[in-house]
Amino acid sequence: MDYSTYQSNDCHVVELHDDFDSGTVNDIKEYFEGLIEDGAGDVLIDMSEMGKIDSSGVGALVFLYKRLRMDSRNLGLLGVNGKADELLTMLRISQAIKQYESIEEYLGKH
């Protein structure tokens, strides 16, 4: 999976540049586990350049969300659009994991 990461304030940002599906989710799983073990800061997943997402990708997001919440940390999604937005809304994931248009919007609310 093609992805990049950076920090903004105390928040880890992961930009997804590829499909987030059964063929690619294992490529980022180790990085997600490192974020969980790190124990510091919230995590934002930038989906604005992501291709498609399937149940494996949704499962990885839910796993990351639950593990971060156990440490009183937050997961947010940036730039969710198209089919990904429809899927997350249909599954009601968007009710649990907050979505933001930009990093600036997220920072303005935290």
Could you give the CA distance from residue 34 to residue 25 in angstroms, rounded to a whole number?
A: 15
pLDDT attached to residue 83 = 93
Whether the pTM exceeds 0.85: the reply is yes
pLDDT attached to residue 107 = 86
Q: What are phi and psi of 89, to 5 degrees?
A: -70, -45
Long-range contacts of 29-38 (CB under 8 A, 24+ apart): 29/60, 31/3, 31/5, 32/60, 32/63, 32/64, 35/64, 35/68, 36/64, 36/67, 36/68, 36/71, 38/12
Q: What is the pLDDT of residues 21-67, one digit of tens each?
A: 999 999 999 999 999 998 889 999 999 999 899 999 999 999 999 99
pLDDT attached to residue 6 = 94
Mean pLDDT of the chain: 93
**What is the 3-state secondary structure of 74-108?**
CEEEECCCHHHHHHHHHCCHHHHCEEECCHHHHHH
State how many domains the chain has: 1
**Residue 10's domain is classified under what CATH number?**
3.30.750.24
Closest CA to 4 of 37, 27, 38, 36: 27
Domain that holds residue 18: 3-109
Tokens 């059964």 belong to residue: 22
